[in-house]
A and B are shown apart, each in its own frame.
Chain A
Amino acid sequence: GAVVSQHPSRVICKSGTSVKIECRSLDFQATTMFWYRQFPKQSLMLMATSNEGSKATYEQGVEKDKFLINHASLTLSTLTVTSAHPEDSSFYICSARDPKTGDFQPQHFGDGTRLSIL
């Protein structure tokens, strides 16, 4: 079946560091990918929608200059957390949509990235 690979699975770094997270669709071309964030004991919240070849669409309250999204190819979207601070510590997870399967089919999720900023 369709697989989405997310890397790295865990990051621990110092405050002020920029962190890049990759999301790859392994056996389909994903024109649209989604980035979610989950704080402890909270729901997954959509951060942004990543569209191949165009600018990402960010949800209200998400700083586009802090969370840089690049979707330069049909199989790769990256999320860069710039100058990360402890409050950015969270679980980040991506999903991808296979446009060939139609509007009613499930998206495919990566395994997520646990980001801890010291």
Chain B
Amino acid sequence: KQEVTQIPAALSVPEGENLVLNCSFTDSAIYNLQWFRQDPGKGLTSLLLIQSSQREQTSGRLNASLDKSSGRSTLYIAASQPGDSATYLCAVQDSGYALNFGKGTSLLVTP
């Protein structure tokens, strides 16, 4: 069964810093990997999706990489802002179509 782990569980940084969130998964036979943002008490906002054949995806200040063979992905956030404060979830999709989620990294960006 796919296990998804996210490190760190929580992170607090001052505004303007660049930061990296880590995600690892145990079964490399994935279709894609997604990064989501979840605000407190809210649903999910899809940030980036990397297909299994891709190495990275970029959207604005966000860059996600995927190393399928080693079972790792990173989400890089450049020039962090207080509005980036949220929980970031990593999820992998395998052949069953359902997503396997990590527990998330809770990010706080202080002004």
Interface residues of A (CB under 8 A from B): 6, 32, 34, 36, 41-46, 49, 91, 93, 95, 97, 103-107, 109-112, 114
Contacts and interface: CB of A to CB of B under 8 A. Distances in A.
A104 B43 contact: no
A78 B101 CA distance: 22
Contacts of A36: 99, 101
Contacts, number: 55
A44 B98 contact: no
Interface residues of B, number: 24
Given A44-B89, A114-B41, A106 B46 contact: yes
Contacts of B93: 107
Given A32-B97, A95-B99, A106-B32, 13 more contacts: A36-B101, A42-B103, A43-B4, A43-B104, A44-B89, A44-B91, A104-B32, A106-B49, A107-B93, A107-B99, A109-B44, A109-B46, A111-B43
Given A43-B102, A112-B43, A104 B51 contact: yes
Most buried by A among B34, B91, B98: B98
Interface in B33-54: 34, 41-44, 46, 49, 51-52
Across chains A and B, which 3 residue pairs bring their CB atoms closest together, nearest first? A111-B43, A43-B103, A112-B43
Given A104-B51, A106-B34, A106-B49, A46 B99 contact: yes
A43 B98 CA distance: 14
A96 B62 CA distance: 25
8 contacts: A6-B43, A49-B98, A103-B31, A104-B32, A106-B49, A107-B99, A109-B43, A111-B42
Nearest to A109: B44
Contacts of B51: 104
B42 A112 contact: yes
B31 A46 contact: no
Nearest to A6: B43
A111 B42 CA distance: 6
